[in-house]
Chain A
Amino acid sequence: MMIDSFIIGAGMIPMGKHKLSSYSGLGVPAALRAVQTAGLKTSDIQSVYCGHAFGGMLTAQRICKEIGIGTIPMTNVDNACSGGASALNAAVKDIAAGRIDIALVIGIDKLTQFGGGTLPLVAEDPEVQAGMVMPALYAMRARRFLHDRNETAEILANVSVKARRHGKQNPYAQFRKEVTAEEVLASRPISDPITLLQCCPTGDGAAAVVVVSAAYLRQSSAASVRIAASILHSGQATSGFRNMLHPDITYHSAREAYERAGFGPEDLDVVELHDAFSIAELVYYEALGLCPEGHAADFLRDGKSTYGGQVVVNPSGGLLAKGHPVGASGVAQAVEVFWHLTGQAGTRQVEGARRALTHVTGGGIAGMDHGACTVHLFETVAS
């Protein structure tokens, strides 16, 4: 029988350019906040899972040795942007199997080490050799979207406008200044039709959650959220046609998550999805089942994905405004929804939030829509 998992502590650092911080300098404050809010001591942690893409060797150990955590199992997870959420998935699986009762999950990355520009991809990939960069992958998706849906670039810009409006309320967001659609469209071209303000920023960040078993939860008085589903999928390569508006990996991951959790997209109050570039949010509205296929533009235009609408998508500001230090993002999303489901999200609180979804896709590899995808579903715990 699978044992349920619960988040009982969460922490993150404000995303931004923290050039004077090492990986442990980034990770320690987030980890300590998570442990402290869980009502635990660092010595209570039984296993650590650390997601990152660019941390180098032994990232978890380099963080944990600074705060008295040692000897216990530590696993470092690289799944590109899905690394943090994959680490959460690994923790949930160990708890479900009864191996441990208290896990610390860290997501972290420091992108300023590369100086800026596009994310460095694996140079041995044949599409990277042919000139592929991440913005181009999304830009081709955007161009096809505009073509198939008879839309203009303004709909892309409006994704960024919403992200910035949400991010303004989030003290942990890298960008907290609102922008207009005109400013988005007039910003520097990156990969047509994607402009600078439609791209997630270069930044550094860390987030952490404490995940416990049902048995430990009974001893805890900390605020808690149940992890109703934790799903990890990989891409399936094809050398032929792929509909770029129908990312199979997200469709399949989301369907499995809803089935596992016993509730669906219509039940969600909060969604944190992978809006690395503006077009992604539109494509993922449909892939996650928030709206029917073909209706993403109207879903945004009609205000259904913001406060007062059907579901608040990316109340944190998302990757576009909050920031996207790649390995950190999956855990930072879990922190954000934990805060909403436990009534701790401050002025950006989604009132009455009871169910939430987080979603991260990882990496561009030739022949795949994405290399990895994680979907988590969360719900409040009845008191």
Chain B
Amino acid sequence: MNEPTKDEFDRAVADSPYADLDIDTRVDYVRRDGQVFLCASQSISSGSLAFPQRSTCQMTGTADMEPICIGPDGTLYSFSTIHVSATRTVPYTIGYVDFPNGLRVLAQVRNIPGNMRCDTPVTLKADAASWWVEPNTHTDEA
């Protein structure tokens, strides 16, 4: 029996799985001129958005996602402080952030005032280890 052809091997390589658990090398955010942006992606054909970045459109399955940057400002749709976790130090706060281009992202929320409400404007922040959002002080001051 003959060895598989190059075309057969090329097809198998094209069918390789996505390394979507490779969180350690994935880049989720960048800092530029003192501002933080999320590394998201958008389908050329459907316009669908995604965070974290992905290669295939979630709406159509088309492999035409292009990198885009999101941020730094968004709106906190809702949020909750969690007091029970088997894996994380509690309490911690998460919330859904809606960005102006329509993308919604689940984010860590920090530096929250006790009376924070839904629809609070928030801004992306980051350090060397992680990113989060916090209330947008420059909007409060405006």
Contacts and interface: CB of A to CB of B under 8 A. Distances in A.
B98 interface: yes
A140 B96 contact: yes
A143 B52 contact: no
Interface in B55-104: 58, 77-86, 88, 92, 94-96, 98, 102-104
B36 to A, nearest CB: 16
Given A140-B78, A366-B106, A241 B98 contact: yes
A147 B117 contact: yes
A111 B104 CA distance: 32
A71 interface: no
Contact of A132 (B98, B102, B106, B118): B106
Interface string A21-53: 000000000000000000000000000000000
A126 B53 CA distance: 11
A118 B84 contact: yes
Q: Which label, helix, strand, loop or mixed, suits the secondary structure of the A interface? A: loop
Nearest to A117: B86
A126 B105 CA distance: 10
Contact of B82 (A135, A188, A367): A135
Interface stretch (B6-14, B43-51, B121-129): B43-51
A242 interface: yes
B82 A129 contact: no
Contacts of B92: 131
B21 interface: yes
Contact of A239 (B20, B23, B58, B83): B58
Contact-size category for A: 35 or more
A366 B96 CA distance: 11
Contacts of A193: 80
Interface in A306-356: none
Contacts, number: 93
A239 B103 contact: yes
Contacts of A141: 78
Interface string A123-146: 010110111110110011101100
Nearest to B23: A129
A289 interface: no
B39 interface: no
Contacts of A136: 80, 82, 94
Contact-size category for B: 20 to 34
Nearest to A126: B52
Contact of A192 (B23, B50, B58, B81): B81
A190 B83 contact: yes
A139 B109 CA distance: 15
A136 B83 CA distance: 10
A381 interface: no
B85 A144 contact: no
B80 A191 contact: yes
Contacts of A131: 82, 85, 88, 92, 94, 106, 108
A244 B95 CA distance: 12
B80 A139 contact: yes
Nearest to A139: B80
Contacts of A171: none
A292 interface: no
A189 B94 CA distance: 15
A141 B80 CA distance: 9
A130 B49 CA distance: 18
Given A131-B106, A136-B82, A239-B48, 13 more contacts: A130-B107, A131-B108, A139-B80, A144-B78, A147-B117, A147-B119, A189-B81, A190-B84, A191-B80, A191-B81, A194-B80, A239-B49, A240-B104
30 contacts: A117-B85, A124-B20, A127-B106, A130-B94, A130-B107, A131-B85, A131-B88, A131-B108, A133-B82, A133-B85, A135-B80, A136-B94, A139-B80, A140-B77, A141-B78, A143-B80, A144-B77, A144-B78, A144-B118, A188-B83, A190-B84, A191-B82, A192-B80, A194-B80, A238-B104, A239-B50, A239-B103, A240-B104, A241-B102, A367-B58
Interface of B: 20-21, 23, 48-52, 58, 77-86, 88, 92, 94-96, 98, 102-104, 106-108, 117-119
